């Protein structure tokens, strides 16, 4: 048994008690009345980093909630690893669905139940504990370390871009490891290769000067709802292929190796359909469900409205129709270019008699893709294999995580996700919990990963 | 000068005073608190018919507002003419847009301004006055007369169908003349040949068990909004032709003579487009604007909704989408058959992964079409030509008037519209008015028409 393992074992009860203290702080970043709680959580993190043995600790202001910085830079010739995580949490509504106070946690059946227990306080506390164990057991860390713990992830990190740009040198590093993520299951590790980008648009179709009588004008004046239906249906073929010209031009295609790795992941289509209560699946021809949702760009209508929505009948020919669309993008698509292509498509297909406006909405994100053989992934692969006794799956997510591209574009380093949450832990939902088995396994994982990265 | 003309001239001031009394009664049929006013208006009509010299007057109950019956059946060998009109009125909202109390009328500049002044109290009072003039001046009427004045037209005459069915014999007749309608302009008469039918449907598309995360499931699960757009756009070609199989099967085609009659009616396309503020017109290829809105069936989406309709972005893959559709029908289409055809079309085109329900809504009407050379139209043509000094236009309406088919189907007689309102008189809107010139001209018109019909 190595020294850090002994240290972890001997101090585990204290770590759990500390995690309970940490999740007691209601650091809800989206609610202004909790701003001081977010600040307090940052101060807790700063103090805990000091206890762990980190140095040069700073609570750095941003235009919003603060960032906590720390470092330990006494491993000359070794790489510098930037550890990322966040100490803010989601709101707790609906409160009545919680079995107990979301900020008054208990440990039961090997789980700690509280808002933020998994996302991300439990997961971000893991590398802090691991660094403490390494420092206390061997007197040094195997790599140089910088920490970037933020307090605004749950609101989309709005003030982080200028902060990172302004502090590029301070955060310069060789590796980035994010503690915000999950494994595939209790027995199956995984490595996250990509997140999708996002491009959001609104389409507004305008017809005549006002709503018209469908008897007097029907059939003789363009109906914006028909025009909108025509525009929207022109964007995807009946069998689900996106038809916007140029949409796929910048897509990095899936390699045979990529597809093989995805195909190795168990997928029970009957169960998937039963869970969703659908009688058939639907998507781009030639791709599997995982490929469609993880690795192919999508175009989905999020909402449509126009005309009469009440009970019964209103014989109106409406003069307005509206739709909201979001596209999920894959490398190397860009949200602004996609918005331009969709605008051009709409202008090409709009029928006569209406005017149409396509507006790009503020939400956007660039896609992120990390090579499966990136050295950080190779290191993670070895560690996870040893830890779980099986090879990790190489997975992707259809969701968007802007922080990855923010860090890559400014620091020139591909972030690795290395975290031990599980997707059943009610993230963003009532009764969020975290497994203490994951907490312990993560501590071992981080000690092993940092040692592995220190070997170059 | 014939006797009735003298009588009309000598009594015109009294008639205007009586009309003012009539429109003072706030007989709003849609508002339960005005039910007694509708009843009172019926009593006013009954009393006024007695003054005019009609006989066997009855205020007949229905399951809703009453019907007023009267007759004069002392012209053996002459045809029996049923006069139709209604004494209920529309609500007055928004009240603040009225220049004065809608039920406290004044006569100014040759107009009487009040709710119901044109629709239909002024117009339905015209034949009563005309019959009085004929009876007082010549001691008899040139035809047998039955009257059917109702109090629920503005709410769609919901209780009239069983009432007519139960009283077929009482209302048996050779001609039906409706006082509810209009002329083309102050100088141009017209004859209404048709009204459209109505078939109303709702389409509900259901996807997965609930709304889904557009990142996690987008591209891999059917989106009901895309399915709805696809269904709706499949119903009409890009250039406006209805594509539902069988939709046109029962349509009575426009004859060359029909089209010639429509083409003779002045139409200023630039002005039409400017009034509507549209840059182009749009409709079934091969037909003019009047043909499209008057004589061709239409399919219009009245409303569409589903998913997120708020500000900004919500990255949701919704699980419901809805649309309301109304079709305006022409002879000999039927609303139930059209609903069945649309249901069959939707079931044929619905993409996989969603379920769709097509529900026919309660509002429906059969189309009405009267031959332009029907004897009643020939009589009206002669009278209008003499009254205006020019030939009437043969026009149609895209609106639906269920009473026509109700009377035709049960009494076997084609109703003629013979009324002297004008379309600029703010029907169903604030500051409704009626021209006293139309009131007087109508009285002459009805005396002439009844005499003409009495000649066989």
Q: Answer yes or no: are the C-beta atoms of B441 and B420 closer than 8 Å.
A: yes
Domain that holds residue A149: 3-194+367-454
Beta carbons of B221 and A400 less than 8 Å apart: no
pLDDT of residue B93: 87
What's the mean pLDDT in A205-232?
A: 95
Exposure b/e, A331-349, CB count within 10 A at least 16 = b: bebbbebbbebbbebbeeb
B76 and B54 within one domain:
yes
Residue A2 predicted with pLDDT over 70:
no
Beta carbons of B215 and A397 less than 8 Å apart: yes
Sign for the CA dihedral angle at B130, B131, B133, B134 comes to positive
Beta carbons of B229 and A232 less than 8 Å apart: yes
Q: B439 CA to chain A: closest CA distance, Å? A: 26
A202 and A223 within one domain:
yes
Give the pair of three-digit tokens for residue A67. 């960032």
Residue A340 predicted with pLDDT over 70:
yes
Alpha carbon distance B283, B297 (integer Å) = 11
B107 and B21 within one domain:
yes
- Domain membership of residue B260 (yes or no) is no
Residues of chain B with pLDDT below 70 are 1-2
**CA within 13 Å, CB half, A350:** 21
pLDDT of residue A156: 86
> From residue A163, how far is each of A83, A167, A365, B366 by CA, in Å?
17, 6, 17, 69
B161 and B126 within one domain:
yes
Residue A134 predicted with pLDDT over 90:
yes
Residue A1 predicted with pLDDT over 60:
no
Strand partners, A71: A55, A146
- Domain membership of residue B283 (yes or no) is no
**CA within 13 Å, CB half, A179:** 32
Pick from A24, A41, A331, A48: nearest CA to A196: A331
Beta carbons of B278 and A399 less than 8 Å apart: no
Chain B CB contacts of A429 below 8 Å: none
Nearest chain B Cα to A289, which residue?
B220
pLDDT interval class at A270 (50, 70, 90): very high
Domain boundary (A350, A365, A380) is at: A365
Alpha carbon distance A203, B294 (integer Å) = 32
Chain A CB contacts of B239 below 8 Å: 351
Chain A CB contacts of B233 below 8 Å: 226, 229-230, 232-234
Beta carbons of A328 and B218 less than 8 Å apart: yes
B307 and B210 within one domain:
yes
Say how many domains are in chain B.
2
> A136: buried, middle or exposed (CB in 10 Å: 19+, 13-18, 0-12)?
middle
DSSP summary character for residue B28: B
For residue B163, give the CATH number of its domain. Answer: 3.40.630.10
Alpha carbon distance A136, A131 (integer Å) = 8
Nearest chain B Cα to A279, which residue?
B353
pLDDT of residue A259: 96
- Domain membership of residue B429 (yes or no) is yes
- Domain membership of residue B179 (yes or no) is yes
Nearest chain B Cα to A359, which residue?
B312
What's the mean pLDDT in A220-235?
A: 97
Alpha carbon distance A356, B345 (integer Å) = 28
Domain boundary (A309, A335, A365) is at: A365
- The full length of chain A comes to 456
Count of CB atoms within 10 A of residue A147's CB? 28
B427 and B352 within one domain:
no
Beta carbons of B238 and A218 less than 8 Å apart: no
Beta carbons of B216 and A328 less than 8 Å apart: no
Residue A89 predicted with pLDDT over 70:
yes
pLDDT of residue B401: 87
A361 and A213 within one domain:
yes
pLDDT interval class at A402 (50, 70, 90): confident
B441 and B411 within one domain:
yes
3-state SS class at B1:
coil
Q: Answer yes or no: are the C-beta atoms of B180 and B86 closer than 8 Å.
A: yes
A360 and A381 within one domain:
no
Q: A71 CA to chain B: closest CA distance, Å? A: 35
Domain boundary (A331, A365, A399) is at: A365
Q: What is the 3-state secondary structure (H, E, C) of A270-324?
A: HHHHHHHCCCCCCCCCCCCHHHHHHHCCEEEEEEEEEECCCCCCCCEECCEEEEE
Tokens 């648009």 locate to: A201
Cis peptide leading into B350, omega within 30 of 0?
A: no
For residue B221, give the CATH number of its domain. Answer: 3.30.70.360
Q: pTM of this prediction?
A: 0.90
Identify from B205, B218, B333 which residue to disrupt to test chain A contact, counting A C-beta atoms within 10 A and taking the largest count.
B218
Vertex A111 angle, CA A110 and A116, to 5°: 155
Q: Which residue among A219, A298, A306 places its CB closest to the CB of B284?
A: A219
Pick from A451, A385, A445, A377: nearest CA to A416: A377
- Domain membership of residue A118 (yes or no) is yes
Beta carbons of A303 and B316 less than 8 Å apart: yes
What's the mean pLDDT in A410-427?
A: 95
- Domain membership of residue B140 (yes or no) is yes
pLDDT in tens, A283-308: 999 999 999 999 999 999 999 999 99
Sign for the CA dihedral angle at A68, A74, A75, A77 comes to positive
B56 and B110 within one domain:
yes
3-state SS class at B204:
strand
Identify from A198, A212, A220, A297 which residue to disrupt to test chain B contact, counting B C-beta atoms within 10 A and taking the largest count.
A220
- Domain membership of residue A274 (yes or no) is no
A184 and A63 within one domain:
yes
- Domain membership of residue A283 (yes or no) is no
pLDDT of residue B1: 44
Beta carbons of A307 and B303 less than 8 Å apart: yes
B115 and B9 within one domain:
yes
Which alpha helices (H) appear in B264-400, and where do they start and end?
269-276, 289-290, 335-349, 375-388
pLDDT of residue B2: 59
Alpha carbon distance A402, A347 (integer Å) = 30
Pick left, alpha or beta for residue A43 (phi over 0 → left; psi -120 to 50 → alpha; otherwise beta).
Answer: alpha
Pick from A454, A445, A397: nearest CA to A420: A445
């Amino acid at each position: 048994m190595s020294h850090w393992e002994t240290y972890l074992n001997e101090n585990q009860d204290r770590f759990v008690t500390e995690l309970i203290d940490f999740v007691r702080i209601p650091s809800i970043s989206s609610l202004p009345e909790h701003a001081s709680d977010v600040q307090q959580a940052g101060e807790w993190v700063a103090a805990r980093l000091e206890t762990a043995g980190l140095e040069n600790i700073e609570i750095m202001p941003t235009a919003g909630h603060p960032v906590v910085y720390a470092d330990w830079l006494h491993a000359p010739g070794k790489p510098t690893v930037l550890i990322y995580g966040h100490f803010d949490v989601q709101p707790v509504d609906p409160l009545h669905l919680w079995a107990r106070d979301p900020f008054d946690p208990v440990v039961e059946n090997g789980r700690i139940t509280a808002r933020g227990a998994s996302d991300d306080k439990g997961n971000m506390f893991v590398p802090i504990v691991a660094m403490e164990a390494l420092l206390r057991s061997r007197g040094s860390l195997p790599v140089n370390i910088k920490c970037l713990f933020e307090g605004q992830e749950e609101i989309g990190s709005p003030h982080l871009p200028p902060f990172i740009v302004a502090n590029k040198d301070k955060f310069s590093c060789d590796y980035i490891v994010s503690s915000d993520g999950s494994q595939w299951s209790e027995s199956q590790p995984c490595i996250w290769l990509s997140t999708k980008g996002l491009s959001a648009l609104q389409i507004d179709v305008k017809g005549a000067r006002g709503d018209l009588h469908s008897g007097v004008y029907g059939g003789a004046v363009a109906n914006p709802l028909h025009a909108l239906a025509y525009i929207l249906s022109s964007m995807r073929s009946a069998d689900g292929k996106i038809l916007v010209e140029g949409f796929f031009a910048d897509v990095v295609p899936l390699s045979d190796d990529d597809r093989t790795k995805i195909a190795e992941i168990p997928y029970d289509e009957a169960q998937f359909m039963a869970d969703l209560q659908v009688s058939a699946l639907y998507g781009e021809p030639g791709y599997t469900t995982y490929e469609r949702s993880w690795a192919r760009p999508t175009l989905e209508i999020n909402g449509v409205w126009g005309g009469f929505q009440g009970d019964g009948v209103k014989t109106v020919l409406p003069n307005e129709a509206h739709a909201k669309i979001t596209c999920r993008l894959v490398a190397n698509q860009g949200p602004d270019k996609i918005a331009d292509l969709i605008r051009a498509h709409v202008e090409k297909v709009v029928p006569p008699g209406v005017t149409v406006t396509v507006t790009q909405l503020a939400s956007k994100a660039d896609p992120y893709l990390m090579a499966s053989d990136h050295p950080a992934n190779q290191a993670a692969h070895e560690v996870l294999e040893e830890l779980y006794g099986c090879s990790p799956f190489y997975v992707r997510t259809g969701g968007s995580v802007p922080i990855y591209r923010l860090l890559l574009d400014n620091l020139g380093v591909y972030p690795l996700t290395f975290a031990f949450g599980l997707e059943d832990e009610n993230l963003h939902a009532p009764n969020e919990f975290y497994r203490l088995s994951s907490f312990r396994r993560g501590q071992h994982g981080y000690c092993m990963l940092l040692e592995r990265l220190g070997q170059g």
